[in-house]
Amino acid sequence: MEDINVFLAHAIELEREAARRYEELADSMRTTENTEVEKFFRKMAMFSRKHLALAVERSGFHDLPAMSADQYQWPDGISPEQFDWIGVDSMIDATYALELALDGERRGHAFYADIAATTRDPEVRVMAREFAEEEAEHVAELDKWIGRYANKTKQPQLNPHY
Ligand code: ZN
């Protein structure tokens, strides 16, 4: 990706989608009354919104191209629209919700890291690297939470199937 405007358009779409995902995950935690994880997801949604605002602000110096869905250049499996939503509407447990979130963060990280590694445009490279670093922090944070929850729910799971 060689065009800063195209990069920013992707970043905006990716962060917007991430914020939405976190808000939905937070809502699903509210249904299960897991306030701890709900709060964490709300915080992550806020980070995504901040990231989104940053991308919008950076793009303020440029003309952001109006892009139609087929103009986005998402690498395979990273397109935010392809995110696997199965189960989010229903009751999901915290570990599964955290894993869904981790999956999203990994995709985001892979997307930015790949651009940082392959672009020849120095401006795109700097920003992609910056965004990739932030996504790496999110991945680490999710890993921590998943570790915490894996320990909490170690007792054998009798399948509570409704
Ligand atoms: Zn993130």
CATH code, domain with 40: 1.20.1260.10
Question: What is residue 92's predicted lDDT score, i.e. its pLDDT?
Answer: 77
Residue 55 lies in a domain: yes
- HSE toward the beta carbon, residue 99, CA cutoff 13 A: 11
Question: What is residue 112's predicted lDDT score, i.e. its pLDDT?
Answer: 94
Question: What is residue 158's predicted lDDT score, i.e. its pLDDT?
Answer: 54
Residue 68 lies in a domain: yes
The Å distance, Cα 156 to ligand 1 centre, comes to 32
Query: What is the sign of the dihedral through the CA atoms of 147, 46, 8 and 69?
Result: positive
Residue 110 lies in a domain: yes
Domain that holds residue 24: 4-152
The Å distance, Cα 159 to ligand 1 centre, comes to 32
The Å distance, Cα 62 to ligand 1 centre, comes to 24
Q: Report the distance separating Cα 149 and Cα 89, nearest Å.
A: 21
Q: Running along the chain, 162 residues long, what does each successive block of 10 average in pLDDT? A: 90 90 90 90 94 84 72 70 52 86 91 95 95 95 90 57 50
Instruction: Determine the 3-state secondary structure of 137 from DSSP.
Output: helix
Residue 136 lies in a domain: yes
Q: Report the distance separating Cα 49 and Cα 135, nearest Å.
A: 13
Residue 33 lies in a domain: yes
* Residue range 87-98, pLDDT digits in tens: 555 567 888 899
Residue 74 lies in a domain: yes
Q: Report the distance separating Cα 109 and Cα 137, nearest Å.
A: 9
Residue 161 lies in a domain: no
Residues 108 and 14: beta-carbon distance below 8 Å: yes
How many domains would you assign to the chain?
A: 1
Q: Report the distance separating Cα 57 and Cα 64, nearest Å.
A: 11
Residue 66 lies in a domain: yes
Question: What is residue 56's predicted lDDT score, i.e. its pLDDT?
Answer: 85
Task: Kindly report the pTM of this predicted structure.
Answer: 0.82
